Structure formats: C-alpha cells, structure tokens
Chains A and B, each alone.
Chain A
C-alpha cells in the first residue's frame, strides 16, 4: 500500500489542516458554512424532503389557493394552490446551479486572460486584453446582462450565458493586478533564467500565488451571481414559469402584495439566506488569507 511520502503533498495537507483550524475558529464563517451546506443539502434532496414535491412544476389545485402559512403549508400556498416551501426547496437548485455554472465558465477564462495580460504587461497583448475588459466593465453588469437576455429567448440557460458573458472581466482585472506585480518577483525571474516554459511560469509559478484571492472572490461572487440571476428572473428575462426559481417567485408574489404577503416574502428570505451564507464564507476566507500574508 503506497504511503504519502511526497514532501510537497504532505506540506499542503498540513497547510490545509491549519487553514481549516483557523477557519473553524471564526464563528462567522462557520455560520456561513452551515447556511451553504444546509441550502446545498436541501437542493440536492429536494424531491425527498419537500412536503409536496409535485408542486414544483405545473400543478394546480384551486381548492387550496392562497392559503396563509399554517401547519399544513408552513410558508402558505400561491394563487395556484402550490406549497411555497416545496417550491423554495426546488428553487435553491436553480440558484445554486446559476452560481456554479456561471463561475465554472467565467473563472478559467477570466483568470487565463488576466495571467497573460499581466505577464506581458506593457506589450500590445496587455493593451488588447485590458482595453476589451474595460469596455465590458463600462456598463453596470446587470444592464448588460439584461440587454443580452433581451435578444435571446428567456430561459435559465440563456440567463446563465448572459451573466457569464458579463462576469469574466472582473477576474481578468483581479488576476491582472496580481500577475503584473508577481512577474517582477525573484522566483519568477529565477524560473525564467532557468529556462522554464511560458506555461510553466504562468500556471505553476504565478497562478498558485493568486489562488487565495481568486478563491475569496469566487465565494463572494457565488452570492452576487445568485442575486443577478434572481434579478433577471424577477423582470421576466430569466427562468420562466412554472420553473420554481426564487426570483420568479418573488416577482409573481409581488403582484398580490398587501394581502397575500407570504407568496413574495418567503422566497425573498430564501434568496437572502443563500447569499448571506456565501458572503460569510467569503469574509472568512478573506480574514484567513490576510492572516497568512502578514
């Protein structure tokens, strides 16, 4: 049986354990982790734990319509008689999917462009990449995402594409700043002198030193992307009914506001809890990495 005798790997495991220790000592990040794990768990097992799983889709029961919260329906029912709690459970799936898909598309693209532009700082490559980035950053991201969505047929998938198209410049800019100062460090110059390849320098020397910042930004961005996604659905350019998307549910509920407040308020609270979880974790990361740097 092979044992871990790679000293590099051992050291990383050690660092990971130390990081987790510090992270777990911060009550704020533990609360965040708890929220995120709870929401992920509910999303993953929604069909098994939702009280009325069939209410997630096209389901109508006017006999039970617009019921206020009760023991039978903890968050009440909407105008079609669907259980709102069950729909929130399924709604977590769309919110998390939005965040995960957008970030997994955006982070690699943004980071690679930022690394290249930062490493070739001052050349035409830098100019081209960073000026294009500036153009994308020149308009509020929500508005550009709305504009892109407006030319496509509204759907969850298109909303994800639109947000992704708007989001990569933030990573390019972040990594550009880091990479353009790291490239003057001795370890990078040493690697250059030793004849290391470009890709080795970019991905093995510079990138590992950007990981903590990228990681922190990612966990904060999970929250932001979910917010933007819910905003797109809210105006009707994202998920379409009967999809149980939290933003769509708030939009539908806001039509029945003064009297049937529960239709809009509970999905809104669900969005807040999800975003809060990721934000608290992000802050935890930030404190963690700031401590290590000093």
Chain B
C-alpha cells in the first residue's frame, strides 16, 4: 500500500525534524546571557543553593552533556522543572494545553469551512459583486493582525453590543465539567452538561473568529483562483456535455480537485493560527498554553520555553501529517503512488 509507505516516510521525516528542532531550541535556550538559576533563586540565595540547583539541572556540565541529559529526560516524558512555578513542566502543559488546542481546533474548523465556502462561491460566480465583496474581505483579512481583530471584536461585540463575554472560558457561576480531555466543550458534551457546553461555545466565539479570519482570507483567495481556473477546463465542459447533473459536476469534478492547493496550505495557516493564539489569548484572558508560554518567555523560564516550543512543534507536525493525508485522498496521483508533478 503506497499510502502506508507515504505515511511511514512522513513519520521518519518528522522524527528527524523534531530532533533538529530539539537541538535548535536547546541551543537557543542555553545561550542566554546571565545565570538562569541565579535569576530563579534571587540575588540573596546562598551560593551552595545555587550550586546545588545548577548540579541538579546539569548546568555545571559541558553543553553536549547538558543536551544529552535534556534529551533523554525529555524522551522519558520529563521536560524538567519550571524555574518559576517550581512544578514539573509536563504538569503545567497538561493543565494549559487543552484550552489552547480547543480554541485552535475550533478556529481551524471555522477557518477551513468558511474560507473554502467563500472561495468556492466567489470562484463559481467570478467577476460578480459576490466575487468583489469576497476579494475586499480577503484583503482586510490578510492585512489585519489577529490581535487587532481581537481588540476590535472585544470592543464592538464585547463592550458595546454586549453579545459575547469578554474574558475566560466559562461564566463565573458555571462549574467546570469533570476533566476527561481538559477541553471544556468536549468534556461537557461527554458528560451531558449541555448548558455548560453552550456557555463554553459562547465564550469561544470571539477569540476563535479573531484567530480564524486571517487564514480564512488566505484560503478563500486560493480556492477562488483554482475554482475559477478549473471552471474553464475542458473536462468540466465535457462532463456537462455528457449531461452529468450540475450539482455532481460542481461538488465532485470541480470542488474536489480544486481543494488540493487550499488544503496544502491549511497546515501553514494552522501554524500561524497557533502563533497568533499567543496574542489572542492575552487579550481574551484565555487561560491557555500560549499565555503560559508568553509568561514563561517574559520570565526567561528556560525549561518551560523549550517545552512550549517543542510541544507546538509536535502539534504542528501532527497537523501537517493530517493535511498530507487529506491531500493524498484528494489527489489520486499521490494516492495511487504515481510520480508527482512532472
């Protein structure tokens, strides 16, 4: 099966990339000018305490040995201790990551669905007023930083119109559902707390939409141009000539192959979405991983910074593998193992 071989290749490649990434992150986090241990313990800690902690974190050994320890411990699921919260970093990740994943997934679905929808409609009715409005929307979406969207939405829908809450994941009076996945929406769905589910979704609308708009504009632009190109292809004309129903032509013969370029850049758009979550979470006071990451960065909390970047690297790689699988499904040349391109 070529698809398994394809997947295997991707996995091997991902492991290599993660290894390289760990090396990069390690280098970045260790070239810090100044003494992280001294910074964590404060200027008045006795010298022996500093020495102890340094030995405990292997900071007294040469760099390659430090990397070896860091990597072996990381492979055993130990990403070290946060210099600031003094808790294992893994525990912090478990607590904060689900909130961000939930937000990013929700935003990603909005981005992909509406981006493709807008692009498809604009491409189908190209050079009409619909197309022009989608084009204007795309420009606004592409040039506006997501933190600006977040601030505008907060102001308009949060403070002026009061349609949506301005901060957090749940309203103060509502209890969190029992933790299964850590994602409030999924947990409340699984345990049947539908009021909580509604409340959680309501809190998610503004941050998710501000995250999604930039990528949505990109997706819409790309889908529009492939659709309007493919619409003029001979095979569409011949399908219509054979009397294939309009709906089938549009959905199967036009839309499916036209999605290949769109889906291929979904991974990249999801990456910038994860990056922008760092800013949007700050604005909406979203108790997530990105806010944790920013705080770690502002406090120069080495282990936490390294862990945050590594985890996001893993998430990004998983998303990209999924994207590749979808592309393989859409593109028979890949699925059937034929030579790609030229």
Contact = CB atoms under 8 A, between A and B. Distances in A.
B312 A271 contact: no
A151 B299 CA distance: 9
A271 B152 CA distance: 14
A17 B282 CA distance: 49
A135 B276 contact: no
Nearest to B146: A231
B216 to A, nearest CB: 16
A294 B273 CA distance: 35
A143 B147 contact: no
A136 interface: yes
B32 interface: yes
Nearest to B294: A235
Contacts of B31: 151
A235 B282 contact: yes
B145 A271 contact: yes
A275 interface: yes
A97 interface: no
Interface string B4-28: 0000000001001110110111001
Contact of A254 (B13, B151, B160, B317): B151
Chain B interface size, under 10 / 10 to 19 / 20 to 34 / 35 or more? 35 or more
B316 interface: yes
Interface in A95-153: 131-132, 134-136, 138-144, 146-152
Given A147-B309, A257-B155, A279 B300 contact: no
A91 interface: no
A272 B148 contact: yes
B142 A142 contact: no
Nearest to B275: A142
B278 A264 contact: no
Interface string A221-262: 001000100110011110000000000001000100110010
A268 interface: yes
Nearest to A236: B298
Nearest to B145: A227
Interface of A: 131-132, 134-136, 138-144, 146-152, 181, 223, 227, 230-231, 234-237, 250, 254, 257-258, 261, 264-265, 268, 271-272, 275-276, 279-280
9 contacts: A132-B20, A134-B20, A135-B17, A139-B312, A147-B29, A231-B275, A234-B147, A257-B159, A280-B139
9 smallest CB-CB distances across A and B, nearest first, come from A142-B275, A150-B297, A135-B20, A140-B275, A258-B159, A140-B271, A275-B143, A276-B143, A268-B148
Given A146-B297, A257-B159, 5 more contacts: A131-B20, A136-B24, A144-B309, A237-B297, A257-B151
